[in-house]
Amino acid sequence: MSGLEWVTGQTITEVRMNQKTLTVKAAEPDDMYAGMLWFVTGNEKLQERNAANNGWIERPGVTLAATISGLWTFDRGANAPFAVDAASLVVTNLNADELDGFHATAFPRIRDSQKNLELVGIGETEICAYTIDGTNRLMKVSTFFRVKVGATNVTVKVYYTNVDNVAVTATLVDNKPLAVNEYTYPPILIEIKASTEVSLHVTASVANRVYVSGVIEEMA
């Protein structure tokens, strides 16, 4: 039974397994060598002796929690090397959608919109609004106008509370005269505080002359 290597004709016994290749017990073996396996009966973990024979490498099992410090590379071929249960919860600090190069929130998500709303009065009219929940968000607000008859002046404002918890009124269009034509205002990006509302408002100086559309989108 002496020696670290198996030879032809030897019978597999617990003693020989513990001596030569695998130790199954709670405490580490007295004699250790590189490549030796140790099944720890106390926590059911598998340890492998490192090449320098001065420490153990923990081999994670499928049902055991483990911290992976080395780089694991997954093949992105036609057949995925792993699957995630559809009912699984979101993993903290992991954007799972980015594993293959895309992220769901890399594309704007419409949170509220209004299309071709006719301004029938000269007072300030709310076009669309959205109240977020959870963490602070980056939002995009866009507007589009269509003047149907005669000129009119238009004012566009966005109301929100920023990430510094300061109430903000952002004037996108300030009493701008519009002729009979189409007019698009470039979108504005804003950071909005959690659990607060962002709303888009439009005012026309003459009623029944402007159709306005608005979109509030959530960015990444």
Domain that holds residue 117: 109-218
- Say if 97 falls within a structural domain: no
Residue 116 has which token pair? Answer: 């071709």
- Say if 38 falls within a structural domain: no
- Say if 37 falls within a structural domain: no
- CATH number assigned to the domain comprising residue 214: 2.60.120.660
Distance CA 61, CA 65 (A): 8
DSSP assigned state of 105: G
- Say if 101 falls within a structural domain: no
Classify 202 as helix, strand or coil. Answer: strand
CB 212 within 8 A of CB 119: yes
- Say if 78 falls within a structural domain: no
Distance CA 50, CA 56 (A): 6
Per-residue pLDDT of the chain (220 residues; tens, 9 = 90+): 455 566 777 776 666 665 556 788 888 888 888 888 888 888 888 899 898 999 998 886 666 677 777 888 877 777 777 777 777 766 666 655 555 544 444 567 889 999 989 988 898 999 999 988 767 888 888 888 888 888 888 899 999 988 888 889 989 889 988 888 767 777 777 778 767 889 999 998 988 888 888 999 887 5
- Say if 155 falls within a structural domain: yes
- Say if 197 falls within a structural domain: yes
Distance CA 174, CA 159 (A): 14
- Say if 19 falls within a structural domain: no
139: buried, middle or exposed (CB in 10 Å: 19+, 13-18, 0-12)?
buried
Distance CA 112, CA 124 (A): 18
- Rounded to two decimals, what is the model's pTM? 0.51
How many structural domains are present in the chain? 1
